[in-house]
Structures are given as structure tokens and as C-alpha cells.
Structure 1
Amino acid sequence: MKRINLIAGLLFLTGTTSFAQQTVTQPMSQLIDEQFNFAAEQYKVLDQRIPAGLTPQSYDAKKDKLIAYDIKWWCSGFYSGSLWYIYEQTKNKEIRKTAEKALKVIEPNKTFTGNHDLGFMMFCSFGNAYRLTGDPAYKEVINSSAASLATRYRPEIESIQSWDKSKYWKCPVIIDNMMNLEMLDWVSDHGGDARYKEIAIKHANTTLKNHFRPDFSSYHVVDYDLTTGKVYRKATWQGAANCSAWSRGQAWALYGFTAMYRSTKDQKYLDQAMGIAHFILNHPNLPADKVPFWDFDAPKIPYAKRDASAAAITASALLELAQYSKGKEKTEFVSSAETMLRSLATPAYRAKLGENGGFLLLHSTGALPLDSEIDVPLIYADYYYLEALSRYKKWYL
């Protein structure tokens, strides 16, 4: 019955029949190969539109305009990271050349200390490049990036400061920051400074203590007072309300604590990840196709905007979390991730070749309260979609 309801919902969303139904029922091996072959062609379209020295972020369909930013933008590593995932699956040499070119653009970020996002910027990019090539030059870039990220650690609060002090915040730490700990762990585990992993653990423990509610949902921002070391307030910047569960924030939390468990094997991180997963999957406002609304407490549900990026991140995290699970729980995590990936592969969420500015996915939401990036493609949605597809192929086929 659930499979029938999912198909019906997707057909309603797309207004099509054959392709939507095919993506729901075809073997995952075939679906995954088709998505990577599509991505290889679609990203050729995207590459042709990127201005020199910038990195792609989104696309304005009304103006037929690519949105691209300076390399210091927090998303600058996702394009090259996506290309490396595509190359890994297709062995397309032109894609590899494009990936290498994209790395050269962002390499100066290895000494950037202006925010906490060095993991996103440099590990999603150079991390994948090193994983696939073993080039020691890439490892050196990752090591330098970890050193830069470590400068933002604040011992007064045992956390990495996310954004700089402003009229809005004293010392903000956002749940997204959990995603940047993986690079610190990796460098320490691969011959680098052991202090980086200590920082990652302290940050994760502080987040565990201060960011979560009893139901395992997360606040977006915890603002600290560096003078006292105490929490100043708990709030949101991109969610519907201070007390709401911003969907992508929950995905960041799930992914981050799963990665911390992988690195440390500390049971409390696994327990936290399990709790977050069940919060997401059992939430009454999670749609049948499992692509979340932009906030689990968003106004106007079921007419609220979706966030394909939250689904892609969640799917990728669930597939790894299932590696540390057993029985019905493992089955639930893999099945839920598969539903998300099948949904994202339909015309309801995936672009047609040559359209969407060259991006893969439609219908992501960046920061609705700021009237920014609403119902648009986003480069990190593509990245985690490709990562999740790759993980499914590696672990479950």
C-alpha cells in the first residue's frame, strides 16, 4: 500500500506517468547508473555557464541566470566534489579534468579562517579528490584547511565558532557545524595533529549538550557568551521559528553524529544519530515521498515549500547509519533512503537534460525566512544526492 501511495503522489506532483512510475519501480542499480550518466551530461551544461574564478550555487529560471559566488562562499567545494563523484562512477576523463580545474579555483581557501565551513569547502572537494587519486598534494591542502578551521575553536565554550560576532550574535554555533568535524577527524587519523580530533570531540559533546530538545530535534543556532562560557540564547536563522525543527538542520545533525560515531566509535554519538533518524522518519509532517517540507513545523503544510537538499543529505546519512544498525532498524533506514532517492530521481525533483541551469535537482530551499533561495536548485543538494547514490551502490547492491 505504501508503494502504491508513493507512486500516486509522484504522479500527482509531476503530471506524468511512465517515467515517474519507472523510477519508483526500476532496479536501483539501473536507476543509479542512469542518474550518474545524466549528471555527467548535465554538468557539462553547468560548466559552460560558470564565470571564471567563481563557483556555482543556484539558478534563476525567470532570468535564465546562473548564480555563482566567490570562492569564500561556504558552498564553494560542492561543485568539484560532485564532479569527483560523477567521475568515480562514469570514469569520464573530461569530467575528471573539469574536477581538477575546479579544485585549482578553490585551493586558496586552505588558509581561509573567516568561517567554520572549511569542511564543506575543502573536504567535500579535496577529500574526494585524494580518496580517488591518492595525490599527496591534495592531502597537504586538506591538512592546511584543518589547521585553518582549528583557529576558530573557542576553548571558553569548547566549540568552533561558526559566524563572527555581529549585531545579531555574540558567538554563534550552528548545527551545520557538525558537518565540518569530519575533516578534523580525518586529518588526525591520517598522520596529522591529534589536537584536531580533540577539538572535534569537544565540539560534538558541547553540541550534544546544548543543541537538542528531548525529542532529538535540534535548534539551529546556539549563541554563547564568551566571557562566561554560558549559553546566551537558542534561536534560528533559517528555520520557521526558534522552537521549530528546520529540516536541513535536522539532516546536518543526523549526518554529523553518524560521522562522529564512525570516527570515534563512541556509543553516545550513535545513540544520538539513531534518535535524530527516528525523529525525522516518524514525524507526522514527513510527506509520503519522504522529501521534507523546508521546516517540519513550517506554516501552511501541506502547501509549504519542499527542500530536496534536506532529503539528499538525510538519505546519505541514513545509508551510513544503517551500516551501524541491525534488523528492522537497518531495513527501515535503507528503505527510507531508497524512497528519498527514488523520489528525487523523478521529474518531480530532477531536472531535464539541458534545463535548470545545468543543476541536477529542483525544489530546494535555502533560507526562506530571509527570502533567499526559495524553490530553486542548490549545488549542495546535487552533491549529497550523488553521494547518497554512490553510497547505495557501494553498500547495498
Structure 2
Amino acid sequence: MAGCGQSAPAPGTPDPSSAPAAAGSLPASVTKVLPTAYERLARSADSLDPTKGYPRSVDGGKSSWTTKPVDDWTSGFFPGELWLARDLTGDQAWTARAQRWTAPIASQIHRTDTHDLGFVVDDSFGEQVQATGQGADDVVTAARSLATRYSPKVHAIKSWDTDGEDDKRGSWRFPVIIDTAMNLELLDHASTLPGGDPAWKDIATQHALTASHTNMRPDGSIAHVAVFDPDTGAFLKRDTWQGAAPDSTWSRGQGWAIHGFAAQARAANNPELKAAAQKAADWWLAHTSPGNRVPPWDFSKPTEERDTSAAAVAASGLLDLADQVGGADGARYRQAAAETLDELATKEVAPSGPALLAHATGGKPQDSEVDVGLVYGDYYFLEAARRWTVPAAT
């Protein structure tokens, strides 16, 4: 395909004509670019070895992934993409690939030192359970591990273990970052599986409510970090690690809030969380516009690097929210998601290399992963494509 660096399909890559007819209702630009996504994804899955690392980022102009060990917070996204490709195409050739990349993640299910088990396990084993019924025990074990980080005083899951560190985070005795809202679906899903605990869904709901009161500002914008006193549960302040400043709005964090609050509103049928998701979404829509739905990495830095991963996350969350809200607001969110996906598909596809989307920003511009392809940007683009025709379901 001209402008997208598409080459001949890799062996086992489905022809786009074999995709389910429902995919035709996607924005035409997205339908057109999906074969490129499948071709690049298949080549990476077949040429790389999960025992040697999981794809994370691709610098502009480079032809290979920078990989990270399986204990990296991003390891679940690549197998998740493979499961998404299976769903989008209906081609069972993706099953073996996805299982091969999912299996090593079983080594992570007992970890109690991270809040990222949703990203790691639910996006891999969670997808596998939905697709094949296999791996439910791994999802349940991971949820049990994640639940150990919940404080009934704070009514939230502790995001980072920071005590004693020689950096800014070391003064945060109980930090809650907005990213953690994305890990709560692991608890929701596991609570309904054999051996799961129904209380896990309550933990997820309580955490989301806490974040909606503390990470969210009155105007609907999101602060990256909310800091608490673990002894009393008192909310102390808003701060930032990823954003430009404590009072700025990190764009992917705003996307996390739309996506995470919408997911928890759906899981708990909670009107307060639905209102929080709408408030975050309305702020996003007020600060982006048709033709400019891909935001800067921080909304306070409009002339600096953009973040396509933030746009993909927001688009997927907007589709979930649109399905729940319906009516004029639902149509408004769905239209914004369509505009975002169209912009990503027509302007942001990398001309070559293994990642689909270019121009993502993983961290602060002075740090790393700036103007790159990111595995989670591609993951949420494909998730949004699936959600376009298949509403999210817990």
C-alpha cells in the first residue's frame, strides 16, 4: 500500500478479503491499513524469540524492535496484539503465535511488587481465556497477587513501592498513578472465573472511585500521581512523574483515565464512574479537534513531541464509553474516536519497520522513547478496531 511500507504478506498472514464482513463498517482508512498491521505483526512474531525479549519500541528509521525482558510492564501488549489479530481476522493461524508469546508470561503471575499485572497478564492470558478458555488459573493467580497491593485505608492499590528510594518518588509513601486504572480489568475478569474472589471487583471499583476523586481535577483533566498517607488514608497532593509539571496534563494519562474509568463504569454499572469517564472524555475533546486528534505528549507543551499512543488509548476508551452512554453524547464520542483512528491511519503509519504507528512518546522528551513506535500504541489501535464492531464486555 502506497505510503505505508506494505510488502507481501508473511506466510500465514490472512488476506484482508478474509476478514469478517463487520470490519467493513470501520472507517475506510483503518480497514485499508489493517493488512499492514497484520503483515508487520506476523513477521515480528515469527522472527523474534520471546525467551530473548518482548517488543517495546522502534526508533524512527530503524528496522527492528528494541526488546525488554518478560518482567517489563509492556510485555503483555505484543501477545495481546496477536490475540486481537485473531479476533479481527477470524484466522486461526494467529492462535499458535499468540500462545507462543503468551506462555512465558506465566512467570509473572505471582509478582506482588508491581501494579502492572493487568497490562502484563490480562492483555495476554486474559485474551487467551476469552479466545480459547485456557489459562484461567494464571489470570486468577495474577489477580490475587495484584489484590495484595490494595489498602482499605486508602481505598486504592499502591502503584509503586517507593520507600527509601533516592529520588522524588521516595517521598511518596503511597502513590496512586492514573496508569493503575488500566490494570483493574484483571480483577474484574478474574473475579468471575473459577477460584476467583468476587471481592476483587469491589477493589477495582473502589480504586477507580478514589482515582476519580483525587487524580482527576475539578475541570476533568488528570494528574499523573495522587499521593496518600498510608497510615491514615488521607489524600495529600497531586504530583507528576510522567507529565511536564504537577499542574499539567500528560496526554496518555488523560487517555488512561478515559479508558480506565469507562471500563470500571461498565464492570460495576456505576453511574459515578461513567460520569468521571465522560468528564475526562469531554476535557479531551475540548483540547483536541478534527484533524488534530493526536495530542502533544503533554497538553501544556503544544509545540513539543506528539504521542500517537495517547491517541490510540483515548480512541479505544471513547468507543467503550460511547457504547455505554448512547444518544447524542455516545454519537459524539464515537465520532471523535473515528476522527482519531482516521488520523492515525492516514497520517501516522510508519513508512517502514516493524511497528505500525510512528510518532509516539513513551516518556518525557528529555528522557527516552521519543518519536518512536511503541508496542502499546499498536495494541490500543487494534483494540479500538475490534471495539468498533464488537462492544466491550466484562
| Shift in alpha-carbon separation, 1:264–1:360, aligned structure 2, 3 A | same
Match of 1:374 among 349, 359, 370: 370
SS of the residue corresponding to residue 99 of structure 2 reads helix
1:98 Cα shift?
1.4
Match status 1:280 vs 2:280? no
Alpha-carbon distance between aligned partners in 2 of 1:274 and 1:42, rounded to the nearest angstrom:
35
In structure 1, the residue matched to 2:116 is: 117
In structure 2, the residue matched to 1:226 is: 230
Q: Is the 8 A contact 1:29 1:393 kept in 2?
A: no
SS of the residue corresponding to residue 177 of structure 1 reads helix
Q: Is the 8 A contact 1:46 1:359 kept in 2?
A: no
1:334 Cα shift?
0.9
Match status 1:98 vs 2:97? yes
> Which AA in structure 2 matches 1:341?
L
Alpha-carbon distance between aligned partners in 1 of 2:251 and 2:226, rounded to the nearest angstrom:
17
In structure 1, the residue matched to 2:357 is: 361
CA displacement 1:67-108 (0-9 Å, x = unmatched): 111111111100000001111122334432111100112111
1:64 Cα shift?
4.7
SS of the residue corresponding to residue 322 of structure 1 reads helix
Match status 1:341 vs 2:337? no
In structure 1, the residue matched to 2:152 is: 155
SS of the residue corresponding to residue 52 of structure 1 reads helix
In structure 2, the residue matched to 1:393 is: 389
| Shift in alpha-carbon separation, 1:171–1:306, aligned structure 2, 3 A | same
Q: Is the 8 A contact 1:174 1:220 kept in 2?
A: yes
In structure 2, the residue matched to 1:176 is: 179
Alpha-carbon distance between aligned partners in 2 of 1:394 and 1:64, rounded to the nearest angstrom:
33
In structure 2, the residue matched to 1:127 is: 126
> Which AA in structure 1 matches 2:345?
A
> Which AA in structure 2 matches 1:200?
A
In structure 1, the residue matched to 2:137 is: 140
Taking the TM superposition and a 5 Å limit, the aligned residue runs for 1:1-397 are: 28=26, 30-47=28-45, 48-50=47-49, 52-61=51-60, 64-135=63-134, 138-165=135-162, 166-167=165-166, 168=169, 169-191=172-194, 192-283=196-287, 286=289, 288-298=291-301, 301=302, 303-346=303-346, 348-352=347-351, 355-356=352-353, 358-394=354-390
SS of the residue corresponding to residue 279 of structure 2 reads helix
1:185 Cα shift?
1.4
1:240 Cα shift?
1.2
Q: Is the 8 A contact 1:286 1:293 kept in 2?
A: no
CA displacement 1:277-327 (0-9 Å, x = unmatched): 1110012x55733111111111xx2x3211111111111111111112233
What's the % identity of the aligned pairs? Answer: 38
How many residue pairs get matched?
363
CA displacement 1:208-229 (0-9 Å, x = unmatched): 2211211011110112222332
> Which AA in structure 2 matches 1:141?
D
| Shift in alpha-carbon separation, 1:132–1:65, aligned structure 2, 3 A | closer
> Which AA in structure 2 matches 1:155?
P
CA displacement 1:168-207 (0-9 Å, x = unmatched): 2322110010111111112223342122112112212221
SS of the residue corresponding to residue 51 of structure 2 reads coil
| TM-score, structure 1 normalization | 0.86
Alpha-carbon distance between aligned partners in 2 of 1:271 and 1:51, rounded to the nearest angstrom:
40
Q: Is the 8 A contact 1:176 1:252 kept in 2?
A: yes
CA displacement 1:100-131 (0-9 Å, x = unmatched): 10011211111112210101111111111111
Alpha-carbon distance between aligned partners in 2 of 1:92 and 1:39, rounded to the nearest angstrom:
14
> Which AA in structure 2 matches 1:34?
K
Alpha-carbon distance between aligned partners in 2 of 1:139 and 1:384, rounded to the nearest angstrom:
23
Alpha-carbon distance between aligned partners in 1 of 2:36 and 2:389, rounded to the nearest angstrom:
16
| TM-score, structure 2 normalization | 0.87
Q: Is the 8 A contact 1:58 1:376 kept in 2?
A: yes
Q: Is the 8 A contact 1:257 1:270 kept in 2?
A: yes
| Shift in alpha-carbon separation, 1:258–1:131, aligned structure 2, 3 A | same
1:271 Cα shift?
0.8
| Shift in alpha-carbon separation, 1:194–1:324, aligned structure 2, 3 A | same
Q: CA RMSD in A?
A: 2.2
> Which AA in structure 1 matches 2:334?
V
Alpha-carbon distance between aligned partners in 1 of 2:232 and 2:146, rounded to the nearest angstrom:
23
Greater helix proportion: 1
Alpha-carbon distance between aligned partners in 2 of 1:308 and 1:63, rounded to the nearest angstrom:
18
1:36 Cα shift?
3.1
Alpha-carbon distance between aligned partners in 1 of 2:104 and 2:50, rounded to the nearest angstrom:
11
Q: Which runs of 5+ in 2 are unaligned?
A: 4-23
Q: Is the 8 A contact 1:116 1:177 kept in 2?
A: yes
